[in-house]
Amino acid sequence: MEGSTPRPPRPRAAPPSVGAVTLTPVPGVGIARAGDDLGLVVADALSRAGLEPAPGDVLVVASKLVSRCEGRFVRLPTVEPTADALALADRVQADPRLVTLVLRESVGVSRAVPGALIVRHRLGFVSANAGIDLSNARPGGAEDGSPEGPDDDPWALLLPADPDASAARLREALAARFGTAPGVIVSDSLGRPFRLGSMGTAIGVAGLVALWDHRGRADLFGRPLEHTETAIADQIACAADLVAGQADEGRPVILVRGLLLPPGEGRSADLLRPLDRDLYA
């Protein structure tokens, strides 16, 4: 949505040259466990598949894979609900232990109605349940009797603590392994105001521009664009989401080739609407 307050243009390069874009799932990633080296997990899978990164490639990595490697698991029976969470859980008809985790991961509540708890995550974006996931959230090993908890214990998986830093570390690891540093996007499925359904969204970015500024370019009739900016990292994450899937597909890493983006160093915060211009918070 166009803002009413003009902002200075961001640094711009030439528009991206888009050729034949391919989105390839990287097979054999497997189910990561807490403490696994994300760079090694992804690099080994790429090598086994013969998909070594080339200049201009972008890897889209599901936040759940990152969170699993970083050990962002919480066993719900260990969570002691707070008084605020108990009251809010009654209002939204949710597990008070989950609501306690949501409040821990958030800086404010945007909407709270039966069946929906929308919050502003501490990373800055607005989402349901602070992006905390209960599906595919069991730590590797718990199903075979490891000391991490009984089989029937419910688990929650939090988002990575710093997705931009996670993306940067993965990019550095891939550069060290292959001699080429692809762009990296950490993606999560988020909902949107006024629209049903979730879509892939970039919550971590390294090695590419996150927000593409078109202001000052001319349209087909020579009129200069005044407000147009493209959330290019979100667009890439959304396209990759079509291939990655949402359930039991097991495709958490997607190699995107052919975008031919010019070099840039964006971050996920570039995609956040400033609070004084956020009409949906």
> If you search the block for the tokens 């009413």, which residue do you land on?
4
Q: What local confidence, expressed as pLDDT, does residue 192 receive?
A: 79
Q: How would DSSP label each residue in 61-91?
A: EEHHHHHHHTT-EEEGGG----HHHHHHHHH
State whether 164 and 244 are in the same domain: yes
The identity of residue 169, as a single letter, is R
Query: Between residues 263 and 127, which one has the greater pLDDT?
Result: 127
The identity of residue 164, as a single letter, is D
- Tell me the longest C-alpha to C-alpha distance in the chain: 67
Q: Which of 158, 182, 197 is the last residue of a domain?
A: 158
Helices (H), the chain: 38-48, 63-69, 83-92, 96-104, 163-178, 232-244
Within a domain: 281 = no
Q: Which of 158, 183, 199 is the last residue of a domain?
A: 158
94 CB-near residues (< 8 Å, 6+ apart): 117
Report how far residue 237's alpha carbon sits from residue 271's, in angstroms, rounded to the nearest whole number. 13
Q: Which of 95, 130, 158 is the last residue of a domain?
A: 158
Across residues 170-197, what is the average pLDDT? 92
Among candidate residues 176, 170, 181, the one with its CA nearest the CA of residue 252? 170
pLDDT class of 230 with cuts at 50, 70, 90: confident
State whether 56 and 171 are in the same domain: yes
State whether 188 and 50 are in the same domain: yes
Within a domain: 137 = yes
Among candidate residues 145, 140, 122, the one with its CA nearest the CA of residue 71? 140
Report how far residue 120's alpha carbon sits from residue 102's, in angstroms, rounded to the nearest whole number. 10
Q: What local confidence, expressed as pLDDT, does residue 66 receive?
A: 97
Residue-wise pLDDT for 249-273, tens only, equals 778 999 999 987 766 888 999 888 8
> If you search the block for the tokens 């400033």, which residue do you land on?
274
CA torsion sign for 24, 29, 32, 35 is: negative
Using CA atoms, how far residue 198 sits from 75, 136, 263, in Å, is 26, 17, 29
3-class secondary-structure state, position 126 = strand
Q: Which residues of 159-174 are buried (b: 16+ CB within 10 A; e: fewer)?
A: bbeebbebbbbbbebb
Q: What local confidence, expressed as pLDDT, does residue 78 receive?
A: 95
CA 109 from chain center: how many Å?
20
Q: Based on the structure, what is the number of domains in the chain?
A: 2
The identity of residue 208, as a single letter, is L
State whether 149 and 174 are in the same domain: no
Percent of residues, the chain, with pLDDT higher than 90:
58
Beta strand residue intervals within 193-240, DSSP E: 195-206, 212-213, 229-230
**Enclosing domain of residue 51:** 16-71+160-272
What Rg value do the Cα atoms of the chain yield, rounded?
20
Residue 246 has pLDDT above 70, yes or no: no
Within a domain: 91 = yes
Among candidate residues 190, 172, 193, the one with its CA nearest the CA of residue 182? 172
Q: What local confidence, expressed as pLDDT, does residue 141 receive?
A: 52
Query: Between residues 211 and 98, which one has the greater pLDDT?
Result: 98
Residue-wise pLDDT for 128-175, tens only, equals 999 999 988 888 754 444 444 445 679 999 999 999 999 999 999 999
The pTM (predicted TM-score) of the whole model is: 0.85
State whether 138 and 174 are in the same domain: no
